[in-house]
């Protein structure tokens, strides 16, 4: 989850609607918020900031102010117990996958072409 804060120069509500619509169509965007007084657009989700800026620059001037991980509140007690279980499960899953799939060796068949008369005419 990334948080991208963009400064956009939106002059009226029509361009604001177009910008919100364009940004919401991008895959990975989970939430969009707009502050018209400060002219800031905040996006949260797994998306590429460059793609977002390219879309918005078609509508108005856009500049990236900040890009970083989104702050999500998590409980520490549960978080400490879960990674231990996940690590064990992941190693077991990897071991199971390696056991089930055997390597496949490709067999190469070489063919040879023999002509009766190597000096013969191609057309005939």
Q: Which tens digits make up the pLDDT trace of 57-71? A: 999 999 999 998 888
Helices (H), 3-119: 13-24, 49-57, 76-100
For domain 2-69, give the fold.
Alpha-Beta Plaits (3.30.70)
Confidence of residue 78 (pLDDT cuts 50, 70, 90): low
Task: Give the Cα separation of 18 and 11 in Å (integer).
Answer: 12
Average pLDDT, the chain: 80
Closest CA to 54 of 24, 32, 22, 29: 22
Phi, psi of 41 (to 5 degrees): -120, 125
Contact 36, 43 (CB under 8 A): no
Closest CA to 9 of 32, 38, 31: 38
């Amino acid at each position: 989850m990334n948080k991208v804060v963009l400064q956009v120069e939106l002059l009226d509500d029509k361009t604001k609607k177009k910008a919100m619509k364009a940004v919401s169509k991008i895959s990975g965007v989970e939430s969009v918020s707009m502050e018209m007084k400060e002219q800031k657009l905040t996006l949260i989700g797994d998306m590429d900031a460059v793609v977002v800026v390219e879309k918005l620059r078609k509508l108005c001037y856009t500049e990236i102010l900040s890009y970083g991980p989104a702050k999500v509140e998590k409980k520490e007690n549960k978080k400490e117990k879960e990674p231990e279980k996940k690590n064990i499960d992941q190693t077991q899953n990897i071991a199971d996958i390696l056991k089930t799939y055997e390597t496949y060796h490709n067999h190469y068949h070489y063919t040879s072409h023999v002509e009766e008369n190597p000096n013969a005419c191609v057309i005939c």
